[in-house]
A and B are shown apart, each in its own frame.
Chain A
Amino acid sequence: MPAYRSQGTKLHFAVVVLLCVTVSSEALGLGDLLERVSQVSDKLHSLSTSLTNDLNTHIPPMGKIIMRPSMCHTSSLQTPNDKEQALKVPESELLSLIRSLLVAWSDPLAMLLKEAPSLVHPDKSLIYSKTKELQDHSNTLGDGLDRLVHKMGPTSQLISSLPFTNDIGNDKNMRLSNFHFLLSCFRRDSHKIDSFLKVLRCRAAKLRPEMC
């Protein structure tokens, strides 16, 4: 089974690479691609920070104290915790981590978007629009990363699955505080994604030392 799977993966990979080469007339260099992707992730994190600030104008009575960031659904993924660790990770693994994180957030973001209109928050329309923007950027980033994958090693394709329980709660205050919590988790994860991509960018930018 694994043999077939690896053969299939290899074939799939080769086909996809060929397609990419034929279809895309302009083949972006790795450096440029990473540059673009970094910009998208930068924007994604900025959006999440701004959304957190908007949400913090009205903190539910239960607060965020109960929820700890370690309880985020992505905390099971082992990511480097400081600079030395981060710089030791090879690129493809780093990319795999990034993609895993991003993929893990596609469902929660959809749920947040569904929840936003019925939030007990005075600015819920603003929150809804920003959440929508967040989702769009996240999708763009995913597409960019997919293109990046073909330029990196096969390890980058591995995505750890991080299950997410769709349980936002029943009580409306509970839902608001869950919203807060989810967003704080997303904020942190988006920062991780951004940092890792920028590390990758500098590794690839041998021709532009002035940027790094």
Chain B
Amino acid sequence: MRRNIATDLILSILFSVVTNTVCITPPGKPKITSCRSPEKETFTCWWEPGYDGGLPTTYALYYRLETSETVYECSDYHTAGPNSCYFNKNDTSIWVNYNITVVATNRRGTNYSDPVDVDVVYIVQPHTPENVTVLVKADEQGPYLRVSWEKPRNADTSSGWITLVYQLRVKLKNQDEWEEHDVGQQKTFNVFSPHSGGTYMVQVRCKPDHGLWSEWSTTSYIQVPDYITRERSMWIIIAIFTVLVFIILTWILNLKRSSVKHCLLPPVPGPKIIGIDRNLLKNGKSEDVFNALVIPGFPPSDYEDLLVEYLEVYDSENQELMLDGKDLQEGCLKLKSPSDNDSGRGSCDSHTLLMEKVAKEEPTLESSQQEVEAETPSTASLQPEYAQPSAWPTVLAPDQPYQLDSPWKSLPDVFISPPVSPQLKCTTGPKHKKGLYEPSINGLEGKGDSMVSSPRTMEYVEVQRVNQQNVLLLRPLAEQNLGSHTTSVEMPEEDYSKVKGVTSNNVLLLQQEVSTQYISDQEETCPMMQQTQLGKPVVHHPPAVVPSGMQLTSNGYVDTATY
């Protein structure tokens, strides 16, 4: 007995083990994966079989409508492929719930799937759109792509039973991202401004109004021909036109080269150093060059007599500057201008020039008054014997209240035009010389103090002519009383203009002369050489003169900036 039970037990265990290893079991549970209706008239359900238990297993689908208790079996297992059930039109009702179950049967047993409730209207997924065609069309804007397609074959949209909306996606062949477009119920779509020469891929899908999206259609390829966009051709035309205009302008500029050059870069007067032979400078040795400069008989023997003790200069602001006479030679105004020393300005260092000028000025300065009143008798006035190099600056630059500062930068910018145009007051310039001549105040060197000119008179000297030795012949402009230091002095000519001031850009500001009347020259100073000192405002308006705004003289160069 016990042995039988034990044997049975052992046998049964063995048997189960054997059967398990040989895998013969009732089938596993099938599972309904999905049901779909492509046109709201038929539908199909698919299931997934479970483990078949090692035996041939059959599957059956049973369904029941909600309105009745009758159970039906699927009539078509083949149309839709394996493990599927196709419900044809007759078997399909909508707005009705189906209760569907799949049963798996094999020799060992059966297994039921979980039931599924399905309403056909909620499982509509159409087929993909058909006949997707892409064409390249052209209009006046350029080429564009036209995509057109047709509805899926079995969808009945004409009666309104099913309403389809479409979606399209496009991309270039080498792009990663698709560009999606919702098209609505149309069956065409345009892609404008495609990339020239690119290959486009197009896909279309559709969806019923309340349903699921279909699969994407197969890709359609289209090659866009090469073309130039209208915009780019416009830019090309503009570029060509600009280049042409530029070439024409350059050619015109080239033709008018000299006048443009004259306008933009006015010629700087060449060096007029007497005695220097240009060619010698280029070719010769330095000794020869300098030897040529040597003039016999200079410096004069009575050199000591020429020295002046001191020089007194007044300006309207009662600024007195005492220049030490001893230093006058070295204390000549040195122009620290940025330009070279070979400009047309006479430099203090040029003794010969100094001498010659002084010598020549003798006869012409007889009648001229000296604004610069020197205390020492030697510089009382310009006398014929007055051939002092140190006084030369005063002769040539009478009545100048100079406020000389270290950077005397304004002078290079000052141009004196030929006599017709108003000349700068207090300067002399070569009348007949072509080009521009620097005012002679270069000869004066400031020690940082301002020089006060003679408060009395304004003296204008005009260069009559330049003789062959390049010496200036001066003559005074107006008939003035020598030695008279009365108050009012008339303005010599009308074509002279006063300089209002000098800006920090080293520009002389000319004053427009409205009246020829001048008041006391006590206040009246030659405003030309005034500079805005460091923190010292320039005040020199002669009250009678109505200064107008800065103006350009006819030939001169005046900067109209305010000071």
Instruction: Tell me the A residues contacting B by CB distance below 8 Å.
Output: 42, 45-46, 49, 68-70, 79, 81-84, 86-87, 188, 191-192, 194-195, 198-203, 209-212
Contact = CB atoms under 8 A, between A and B. Distances in A.
Contacts of A188: 95, 119, 121
Nearest to B120: A82
A87 B66 contact: no
Given A46-B210, A86-B161, 7 more contacts: A69-B66, A81-B96, A188-B121, A198-B209, A200-B160, A210-B186, A212-B158
B69 to A, nearest CB: 12
Contact of A198 (B67, B163, B186): B163
B92 interface: yes
Contacts of B95: 79, 81, 188, 191-192
B interface, over-half SS: loop
Among A68, A83, A192, A200, the most chain B Cβ lie within 10 Å of the Cβ of A83
A82 B186 contact: no
B66 A203 contact: no
A83 B66 contact: no
Contact of A211 (B92, B185, B210): B185
A201 B96 CA distance: 24
B161 A68 contact: no
Given A82-B41, A82-B94, A203-B160, A49 B119 contact: no
Interface of B: 40-41, 66-67, 89, 92-97, 119, 121, 156-161, 163, 185-187, 209-210
A35 to B, nearest CB: 12
A70 B209 contact: no
A45 B89 contact: no
A2 B107 CA distance: 69
A interface, over-half SS: helix
A181 to B, nearest CB: 13
Among B66, B95, B119, the most chain A Cβ lie within 10 Å of the Cβ of B95
Given A81-B93, A82-B92, A82-B94, A202 B210 contact: no
B161 A83 contact: yes
A85 to B, nearest CB: 10
26 contacts: A42-B210, A45-B210, A69-B66, A70-B97, A81-B94, A81-B96, A83-B40, A83-B41, A83-B156, A87-B159, A87-B161, A188-B121, A191-B95, A191-B210, A194-B209, A194-B210, A195-B121, A198-B161, A198-B209, A199-B159, A201-B160, A202-B158, A203-B159, A203-B160, A209-B158, A211-B185
B43 to A, nearest CB: 12
Nearest to B184: A211
Contacts of B159: 83, 87, 199, 202-203, 212
Contacts of A69: 66, 97, 119
A151 B187 CA distance: 31
B299 to A, nearest CB: 113
A83 B42 CA distance: 10
A64 B160 CA distance: 32
